[in-house]
Amino acid sequence: MIWLSKTFSDRLERPWTKVDDAFAVEGEEYRNPEGANRRTLRFEVDGKGYFLKLHWGVGWKEILKNLLSLRLPVIGAANEWRAIQRLGELGVETMRLAAYGKEGWNPATQRSFVVTRELENSISLEDYCADWAGRPPAFAEKQRLIARVAAMTRRLHRNGINHRDLYICHFLLRQPWDGAEETLHLHLIDLHRVQLRRRVPRRWRVKDVGSLYFSAMETGLTRRDLWRFLRVYHDQPLRSIFEQQGEFLRAVEKRAMALKEKGIPDE
């Protein structure tokens, strides 16, 4: 199965007709996690940048090991392809699909790929906020970013989606930005481990929000900043949140502190 967007197909010298065409692409390697059976490349077509994620069979041994550890194995590009489409339906800014393909039905041996357009003139929130602790941004600018991240997270969770790697480095802010709400474009990336279902279990909401909190700890956020996030995420007054969500908040704090001790796993 091969799908190409018309724009991407028109730019290719020869349209891709099989998965081998994607695996033959040469480009700048961005990621190649050891033992993960996937790699990410950046390449250009007709002067436009694209990212290509290649997946190949992880083998039944690895699949069973993940399942026995109560971890959902990533066995192909289909998950990211579906996640990008779903986020688009929900109005959550993310990557733009250019191509997708899959070869074989056996999850232990199949090969697949997904291509997305490069998000040009963008910076991760991790880099954008790196000096906030020493050089705080304008109050309104910070409040808008916090509210946008909270609103995006709320929309995911209320629509049966959890990210599993929800760190501020996976939010890309389009540049330049003048600090206004109407010019704020924040894209969520790295969706290969996203889970899609009817309802997100509490423990996965805790993991997402706890991961966000951990990754923002060094940005100089104040207690009022955290409260603003909670108000937008829960869509409730603070009093109601503290009365009804105490267990959730304690679990989020525990998750964030655990990550602070061991760091972000490279998955």
- DSSP string for residues in 7-66: HHHHHSSS---SHHHHHT---EEEE--TTSSEEEEEEEETTEEEEEEEEE---HHHHHHH
Highest mean pLDDT among 13-22, 29-38, 63-72: 13-22
**pLDDT category, 33, cuts 50, 70, 90?**
confident
- Name the pLDDT band for 199 (thresholds 50, 70, 90): very high
pLDDT at site 135: 95
CB 187 within 8 A of CB 95: yes
Q: What is each CA distance from 256 to 148, 152, 208, in whole angstroms?
A: 20, 19, 10
Q: What is the mean pLDDT of residues 112-124?
A: 98
Average pLDDT over residues 192-199: 95
| pLDDT tens string 78-91 | 999 999 999 999 99
Number of alpha carbons in the 13 Å side-chain half-sphere of residue 64: 3
Mean pLDDT is lowest, of 11-20, 103-112, 196-205, 232-241, for 103-112
Whether the predicted pLDDT of 5 surpasses 90: yes
The reported pLDDT for the residue numbered 67 is 59
User: Phi/psi class of residue 160: alpha, beta or left (left: φ > 0; alpha: ψ in -120 to 50)?
Assistant: left
Mean pLDDT of 26-43: 90
Largest CA-CA distance found in the chain, in angstroms, rounded: 61
127 is catalytic: no
54 has which bridge partners? 39, 113
pLDDT band at 146 (very low <50, low <70, confident <90, very high): very high
Residue percentage of the chain with pLDDT more than 70: 92
Residue 263 has a pLDDT of 72
The percentage of residues in the chain with a pLDDT greater than 90, rounded to a whole number, is: 84
Identify the sign of the CA torsion 6, 11, 15, 21: negative
147-192 pLDDT, tens digit each: 999 999 999 999 999 999 999 999 999 999 999 999 999 999 999 9
Categorize the per-residue pLDDT at 66 as very low, low, confident or very high, splitting at 50, 70 and 90: low
The secondary structure of 185-252 as a DSSP string is -EEE---TT-EE-SS--HHHHHHHHHHHHHHTGGGT--HHHHHHHHHHHHTS-HHHHHHH-HHHHHHH
Residue 72 in this model has a pLDDT that exceeds 70: no
Q: What integer is the mean pLDDT of 115-120? A: 98
Write down the catalytic residue from 165, 190, 235, 266: 165
Please report the pLDDT score of residue 45 as a whole number. 97
Domains, in order of start, for the chain:
2-117 (3.30.200), 122-262 (1.10.510.10)
Residue 140: predicted pLDDT: 96
User: pLDDT band at residue 105, thresholds of 50, 70 and 90?
Assistant: confident
Residue 94: the pLDDT is 99
